Amino acid sequence: MKLWITTAILASAIALTGCQETDENDPPSLHEAFEGKFLIGGTLSDSMLENASDPGFAIVSKHFNSLSPENCMKWGNMNPLLDQYEWELSDRFVEYGHNFGQEMVGHVLFWHSQTPDWVFEDENGAPLSKEALLERMRERARLMAKRWGDRIKIWDVVNESIEGDGSWRKSKYQQILGDEFTELAFRIAMEELPTDAILLYNDYGMTDPGRRDAVVAMIQDFKSKGIRIDGVGMQGHWEMSYPALSEIEDSLTAFAATGVKVHITELDLDLLGRGKFFGANVDIERLKADPATNPYPDGNLPPSEEKRFAERYAEIFDVLLKHHEKIDRVTFWGVSDLTTWLNGFPVEGRTNFALLFDRQFKPKPAFYRVLETARKR
Residue 12 corresponds to which amino acid?
Answer: S
Catalytic one of 160, 163, 247, 372? 160
**Could you tell me the sign of the dihedral formed by the alpha carbons of 243, 245, 249, 250, in that order?**
negative
Number of neighbours of residue 7 by Cβ within 10 angstroms:
15
Nearer to ligand G3I, 168 or 368 (CB): 168
Nearer to ligand G3I, 114 or 293 (CB): 114
Closest CA to 349 of 269, 289, 293: 289
Catalytic one of 266, 305, 348, 372? 266
Q: Name the closest residue to ligand G3I (Cβ).
A: 341
Residue 279 C-beta: closest distance to ligand G3I, Å: 9
Nearer to ligand G3I, 105 or 198 (CB): 105
Confirm if 61 and 100 have CB atoms less than 8 A apart: yes
How far apart are the C-alpha atoms of 234 and 260, rounded to whole Å? 12
Residue 274 C-beta: closest distance to ligand G3I, Å: 11
Write the burial class of residue 86 (CB in 10 Å: 0-12 exposed, 13-18 middle, 19+ buried). middle
Residue 210 C-beta: closest distance to ligand G3I, Å: 19
Residue 160 among the catalytic residues: yes
How far apart are the C-alpha atoms of 228 and 187, rounded to whole Å? 8
Nearer to ligand G3I, 341 or 367 (CB): 341
Residue 266 among the catalytic residues: yes
How far apart are the C-alpha atoms of 366 and 311, rounded to whole Å? 7
Residue 128 C-beta: closest distance to ligand G3I, Å: 23
Residue 205 corresponds to which amino acid?
Answer: G
Residues that bind ligand G3I (CB under 6 A): 46, 70-71, 74, 114, 159, 235, 266, 280, 282, 341
Q: Residues with catalytic annotation?
A: 160, 266
